Homo-oligomer: A and B are copies of this chain.
Amino acid sequence: MQLGMIGLGRMGANMVRRLVRHGHQCVVFDMSPNAVAELVKDNATGSSSLSDFVKKLEKPRAIWLMVPAAVVDKSIRDLLLLIEAGDTLIDGGNSYYIDDIRRSKELAQKGINYVDVGTSGGVWGLERGYCMMIGGPDEAVQRLDPVFKTLAPGVGEIPRTPGREQAAVGTSEHGYLHCGQNGAGHFVKMVHNGIEYGLMAAYAEGLGILRAANIGKQTHAADAETTPLRVPEHYQYDLNLSEIAEVWRRGSVVASWLLDLTATALLEDPALSKFAGRVSDSGEGRWTIAAAIDEAVPAPVLTTALYERFSSRGEADFQNRLLSAMRYEFGGHLEKAASERPRWP
C-alpha cells in the first residue's frame, strides 16, 4: 500500500527501505533534502515540501511520523493545515502515551484517525524487522495491517510458543500487536523500555561482580575507613568476561538478545574504553516508574535501574557529599583519611 513517511533519521529511513523492498510505495519528507535524496535512490518517492508531500499521497492518506517526541505536536500542527477528515496519522516514535490520549481526542474532533506505534528494533530493524506495539481505533489499525506485516520481523526461525498451534490466529507471532485504544501502543512500548533498563542493569551488575572476582589479589589500605576483605583466597579469579558472555548465549537461562549484544561489545573491546559510563535515559524508563507509582505496583528493580543511570551521570554527587559531611560530624571521619591508621600494631 501507499504510506507517507515524515522524518528520515536512522529509524524512519530504514523503515522506508524495508517497505519499498517489499513492494509498498513510500512518499517521504524530511527537513534535510539530502535525507530525502538518499531515500529516492532507494526507490522512495521524494517530496520537496510538506505540502508537496501531502499532495503526492492518495486519499485517505496514511502518514507515519518518525520524528523526535519533542516535535511530534509541531509536526501535527503543520500537517493539520494540509490534510483532511478520513486521513490517518501514525506516531511511530517514542511519545508519552499521555500525549497520545490528548492528540487522539483532538484529532478525532477533526475526523482524523490517530494511531500510536511503539517501535523496538533500533539499528537492527532494517534487517531483523521491527517489533511494533500499536494503539488506536480498530478500523484505522486494520487498514494499516499490510504496513505492519512488512515492517514486523515475521515468525522467522523463532520456535512457536507451545500451545499456540491451536490458538486463534493473531499477529503477535509475527511481531506486531494491536494492544488497545489510543495510547496503548506507547504504553506497552514504555513498559518494554522500562523492562529493558532492568535487564541491562542485571547483566551489568552481574558482569561487574565477575570482573572484580580477582579482588583478593590486590592489596588494600588497612585503615579504619576501609573494610578489609576477610578471605582474599576466595577472590582470586581472573575471569574473561567476553568468553563468559559468549558461553551464556547457548543453552543458559540468561540467553537473550541483549546478551548477544553484550558479547559483541565485550569482544570488540573488553575494557569498553571508548565509553565514559555516563548513561543516558530517554523518557520511557521514567514514565514507566510514574505509571508503577500511580498504579501502586512495586517496581524496585526497574526503578533502581533508572537511578543507576542518574547516578552514572553524577546526579548523586551532592547526596554523597552530604553523607561524608554527616560522617564527619558524628565521627570525625575524613574522606580517604590517611590519618586514622591503627595505633596498635
Contacts and interface: CB of A to CB of B under 8 A. Distances in A.
Given A282-B225, A290-B293, A315-B296, A251 B213 contact: no
A345 B188 contact: no
Interface residues of A, number: 189
Nearest to A170: B243
Interface string A221-234: 01111111110011
B157 A157 contact: yes
A299 B304 CA distance: 9
A243 B170 CA distance: 9
B298 A260 contact: no
| Copies of this subunit | 4
A312 B323 contact: yes
Given A8-B343, A258-B330, A318 B272 contact: yes
Contacts of A319: 201, 204-205, 207-208, 277, 297-298, 308
A132 B246 CA distance: 12
B199 A202 contact: yes
A320 B330 contact: no
Contact of A152 (B250, B290, B304): B250
B279 A163 contact: no
A265 interface: yes
A191 B8 CA distance: 42
Interface in A116-135: 120-125, 128-133
A281 B227 contact: yes
A302 B206 contact: yes
B101 A234 contact: yes
Interface stretch (A20-28, A37-45, A64-72): A64-72
A136 interface: no
A294 interface: yes
Interface stretch (A51-59, A82-90, A107-115, A331-339): A331-339
Given A239-B180, A250-B156, A251-B121, A262 B326 contact: yes
Nearest to A280: B225
A30 to B, nearest CB: 6
Given A131-B252, A298-B316, A282 B209 contact: no
State the 9 A-B residue pairs at the shortest beta-carbon distance, nearest first.
A198-B202, A256-B256, A277-B320, A175-B250, A131-B252, A131-B251, A195-B206, A261-B329, A153-B251
